[in-house]
């Protein structure tokens, strides 16, 4: 009797959804210099979800969510510089569980 044992190979585990969400507060000369419009355009180019808004204290707040590499690029490289007329003096970064929604949009000032 010739039997061939074939073990059923279990399917590979599902890939974890690699997504990262960070909330940032940017201070400096960041209002009145098209920082929000620049943020929306840049975040969309990087394929990120989230939002951006002015804060009454003169800062800009944003939530970035998506591919960890793209989120890091946005936060660590792009937001630290901002658009040409801006002058970023501080950047605070916080991990977030907030729902970024779909796409990237502007929210009202808080």
- Tell me phi and psi for residue 19, to 5 degrees: -135, 145
Q: What was the pLDDT predicted at 7? A: 56
Q: Could you tell me which residues come within 8 angstroms of residue 67 by beta carbon, excluding any fewer than 6 positions away?
A: 18, 19, 20, 46, 47, 48
Q: Average pLDDT in the 38-53 region?
A: 98
Share of the chain above pLDDT 90, in %: 84
Q: Which of the following is catalytic: 23, 36, 55, 106? A: 36
pLDDT-based confidence at 18, cuts 50/70/90?
A: confident
Which is the catalytic residue, given 44, 53, 54, 56? 54
Pick the CATH number of 20-99 from 3.40.50.620, 3.30.70.100, 2.40.30.10, 3.90.226.10: 3.30.70.100
pLDDT exceeds cutoff 90 at 80: yes
Residue 11, CB half-sphere, CA atoms under 13 Å: how many? 3
C-alpha to C-alpha distance for 49 and 41, rounded to whole angstroms = 12
Our answer to whether residue 36 is catalytic in this structure is yes
DSSP 1: -
Q: Is 23 a catalytic residue?
A: no
């Amino acid at each position: 009797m010739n039997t061939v044992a074939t073990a059923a190979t279990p399917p590979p585990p599902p890939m974890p959804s690699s997504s990262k969400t960070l909330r940032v507060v940017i201070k400096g000369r960041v209002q009145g210099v098209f920082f929000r419009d620049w943020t929306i355009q840049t975040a969309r180019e990087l394929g990120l979800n989230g939002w951006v808004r002015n804060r009454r204290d003169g800062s800009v707040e944003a939530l970035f969510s998506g591919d960890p590499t793209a989120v890091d690029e946005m936060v660590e490289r792009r937001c630290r510089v901002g658009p040409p007329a801006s002058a970023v003096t501080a950047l605070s970064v916080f991990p977030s569980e907030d729902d970024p929604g779909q796409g990237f949009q502007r929210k009202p000032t808080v």
